[in-house]
Structure 1
Amino acid sequence: MTDRVAVVGGGILGVAVAREILKRRPDADVTLFEKEERLAAHQTGRNSGVVHAGLYYEPGSLKAVLCRRGVGLLEDFCDQRGIRQIACGKVLVALDDVERARLDGILERAQANGVPGVRIIGAEELRELEPHVRGVAALHSPSTSIVNFAEVTQALAADVVADGAKILLGYKVVGLRASANEVVVTARSPSGFTEARFDRIVVCGGLQSDRLAELAGDDPDPVIMPFRGEYYALKPERRSLVNGLVYPVPDPRYPFLGVHVTPRVDGEVLIGPNAVLALAREGYTWGKVSIADIAEVARTPAFWRFARRHWRTGISEMRGSLSRRRFIAAARAYVPELGDDDVVPGVAGVRAQALDPDGGLVDDFRISIRERVVLLRNAPSPAATSSLAIAEHIVSTMESGR
């Protein structure tokens, strides 16, 4: 009997999962539901395009293992499809001796994770790699690269359709009813409500993952908090300020990486992102406000516990969001020639950050199973980099629960 499998979510993860199912079970009847009218509409299509090498992640964690596996799978896929990927390299720039000492720990993690060629360089070698960047030292990752993840998603989707799957755009899943024998999916589209039955389902819902999990009867935790990441873009005549990716050294006291400078495969150079609480799950500007989403945040104890821990950072991020001068000053610390007038407003994305009940950030990928439903509950960066490896892991998880 043919397996009927549904995938919810048309970002790179959902499409990669659908493709992986069909690779293993060519006879499977696969249907992908996406609530938007196009694939890669949210996190996949609104990021800087960095293919992470695996510098930061705890050795042995899912992030570390799947990132390294995912890099290789992604490179092979891009080579096969002729998708442009640029190995521009990355430097983490230490501005003082305190940051220089942190580089040693990052180097140890990177080497434990098998990142090739990573090493610490001095100020002179940093200047040779990045003539306009200043610091006392840097960690150099020559293999870190960039790609257009939306383009990758479209190529994956072409495989999925060629292998016989259905991709339903504009279908928002509003009901998931699981029993011992099947899962009933209810979706709303412009033409009305549709109900379909499946043997199993995989949910890769991104910003909506906790809500979809509750529809399936899973625990409400971890909850998703939407953090908007805003970018500026260098004017074309100033793009030569950097040759590759230029990042600050992460501060363990703060939950996010900080403002960095990121070339993209189309030639654009982004500065950002910051991290401000979005006023809607898909709130890409200050003007996008959802009273229902705000009320949901206000009712969430995990958010208030997080806020008590990081309120100073939150205020600083908000000030940067409202002031170009403050925003650009963060990058000027290591690119001193960068001027306020060298940039124009760029893209913005919203990060689906899961919080545990104690208010702590869920750092690793998290997957749960509810009867015949597999739920990807947390997939922060480097999820796009790791997408093909995450798909392997999810499908193996699904198959083990047969």
Structure 2
Amino acid sequence: MADETIAVVGAGIVGLAVGREIAHRRPGTRVVVLEKEADVALHQTGHNSGVVHAGIYYKPGSLKARLCARGRDLLRDYCADRRLPYDECGKLVVAVSDDDVARLDRLAVTAAENLVPGLRRLSAAEIRDLEPYATGLAALHSPRTAVTDFTGVARAFAEDIVASGGEIRLRFPVTRVTRLRHGLEVAAGEEAVTADRLVICAGLHTDTVSKLAADGKEPRIIPFRGEYMRVADEKAHMVRGLIYPVPDPRYPFLGVHFTRRVTGEVEVGPNAVPALAREGYRRSRVEAAELLRIACWPGTWHLARQHWRTGIKELYGSLSASAYMKAARRYVPDIGARDVVRTKNGVRAQALDRDGTLVDDFRIHRLGRVTTVRNAPSPAATSSMAIAEHIAGLVLGDREAP
């Protein structure tokens, strides 16, 4: 085993964490990370909000809940060791209606089962003690929720791989996976890499790359664009940490929220609107083949029937800054449409089953020599080092597939 070559497709934070873990766990193994772009962490990793989640929301016992808790601790220690920014600025999950309060109570039970450290419930007055400009009926305060620079973390993972004798091969868009008698050949056009085992962490393209490796058709990736606003400097002091709404359990997105980044800037967002291209960071980017692929998937129509009202609301917010900020002002009333400017967009790879179910938990498949990460939404960046431990155990034979 120590003389094996293990290839990893995708140089986002999860793929790099997996490569790093395998190299450290099994010295002598050659790790080759294959990335279609000219640099690492250019897609989901480089476009997220930088939040290190504490595990408030996730179904107890799920992979998300278990790996988020483990990953948070590993990430905090890694950032300290590598002198990367890590700020435990804390998070408020704020209830602004009676329905919110009822959901907040249920959320507190979930968070307790997930052993979220230091969590406590706040009254309206106590909210103001922590966030003087915020309003609400009640809140949950998570003091260990943090922010970091996930691009910086991903780059550090890449450095660790190279230092262990591995390779990051850029500009290598995988077009073919061939199963050989004793391994696999992974090709990008005429260029090829021979490996004993393969791990696919291809993010927005994970279903298409998985198909090359003969994995199943489900789940499919449906891209959702998340648009952010940046709060003007003169009002950035009005948000000390993270201010979130109480999430709707019927929908996998957390809703528009306020985030103080490690740079000191404050952002509002993201919303969630369907993207018309795999990498549809701009509204103007439309790919006909992608639209056809989405339209031909039965789950798309099931999803539309279930969530069309929410979809219209999100689209309206995408087109109107006033509509976008209307929801946000329920939590910080003094920051309005005139106090923000549009900034970066991200695209989330949301896995969708045939029946229209938005896949919530991490989903990992294993087919002999190939392991595929079919769904790794938030908190995948927080959980990346724990996901890497889990996958390395599968790949190296230390544990059975779930």
Match of 1:248, as an amino acid? P
The answer to whether 1:216 aligns with 2:217 is: no
Match of 1:275, as an amino acid? A
State the match for 2:95 in structure 1.
94
- Report deviation, 1:253: 3.4
Match of 2:174, as an amino acid? V
Distance 1:223 1:252 in 2: 21
State the match for 2:85 in structure 1.
84
- Report deviation, 1:57: 0.5
State the match for 2:357 in structure 1.
360
> Is the partner of 2:175 in helix, strand or coil?
strand
Count the aligned residue pairs.
398
- Listed one character per residue, the Cα deviations across residues 211-256 of structure 1 (whole Å, up to 9, x for unaligned) are 0110000111100000000000001111011111000011223332
Return 201-210 or 95-104, whichever deviates more. Answer: 95-104
Return 98-107 or 147-156, whichever deviates more. Answer: 98-107
Quick one: percent identity of the two aligned structures?
53
State the match for 1:51 in structure 2.
52
State the match for 1:12 in structure 2.
13
Matches within 5 A, 1:54-65: 54-65=55-66
State the match for 1:291 in structure 2.
288
Q: Cα–Cα, structure 1 residues 25 and 255, in superposed 2: closer, same or farther, change >3 Å?
A: closer
Distance 1:390 1:304 in 2: 31
Distance 1:294 1:337 in 2: 40
- Listed one character per residue, the Cα deviations across residues 249-283 of structure 1 (whole Å, up to 9, x for unaligned) are 11223332110000100111110110000010000
Return 381-390 or 355-364, whichever deviates more. Answer: 355-364
State the match for 2:107 in structure 1.
106
Match of 1:310, as an amino acid? H
Match of 1:96, as an amino acid? S
Distance 1:370 1:298 in 2: 28
- Listed one character per residue, the Cα deviations across residues 31-76 of structure 1 (whole Å, up to 9, x for unaligned) are 1100000100000000000000000001110000000000010001
Q: Is the 2:127–2:134 Cα contact (8 Å) retained in structure 1? A: yes
> Is the partner of 2:221 in helix, strand or coil?
strand
Q: Which runs of 5+ in 2 are unaligned?
A: none
Q: Is the 2:207–2:221 Cα contact (8 Å) retained in structure 1? A: yes
Q: Is the 1:19–1:156 Cα contact (8 Å) retained in structure 2? A: yes
Matches within 5 A, 1:247-396: 247-396=244-393
State the match for 1:245 in structure 2.
242
Distance 2:242 2:181 in 1: 49
Q: CA RMSD in A?
A: 1.1
Distance 1:274 1:178 in 2: 41
Q: Cα–Cα, structure 1 residues 180 and 113, in superposed 2: closer, same or farther, change >3 Å?
A: farther
Distance 2:20 2:248 in 1: 38
The answer to whether 1:135 aligns with 2:136 is: yes
> Is the partner of 1:173 in helix, strand or coil?
coil
- Listed one character per residue, the Cα deviations across residues 183-223 of structure 1 (whole Å, up to 9, x for unaligned) are 110114xxxx2122110010100000000110000111100
Q: Which runs of 5+ in 1 are unaligned?
A: none
TM-score normalised to the size of structure 2? 0.97
Q: Cα–Cα, structure 1 residues 32 and 253, in superposed 2: closer, same or farther, change >3 Å?
A: closer
Distance 2:252 2:187 in 1: 37
Distance 1:165 1:399 in 2: 17
> Is the partner of 1:74 in helix, strand or coil?
helix
Match of 2:354, as an amino acid? P
Distance 2:147 2:333 in 1: 24
Match of 2:273, as an amino acid? V
Q: Is the 2:225–2:274 Cα contact (8 Å) retained in structure 1? A: yes
Distance 2:325 2:391 in 1: 40
Distance 2:117 2:314 in 1: 33
Q: Cα–Cα, structure 1 residues 64 and 180, in superposed 2: closer, same or farther, change >3 Å?
A: farther
- Report deviation, 1:180: 4.6
- Listed one character per residue, the Cα deviations across residues 132-165 of structure 1 (whole Å, up to 9, x for unaligned) are 0000110110110000100000111111111111
Q: Is the 1:35–1:173 Cα contact (8 Å) retained in structure 2? A: yes
Q: Is the 2:252–2:360 Cα contact (8 Å) retained in structure 1? A: no
The answer to whether 1:233 aligns with 2:230 is: yes
Distance 2:292 2:383 in 1: 33
Q: Is the 1:178–1:371 Cα contact (8 Å) retained in structure 2? A: no
Distance 1:30 1:271 in 2: 38
Match of 2:122, as an amino acid? I
> Is the partner of 2:380 in helix, strand or coil?
coil
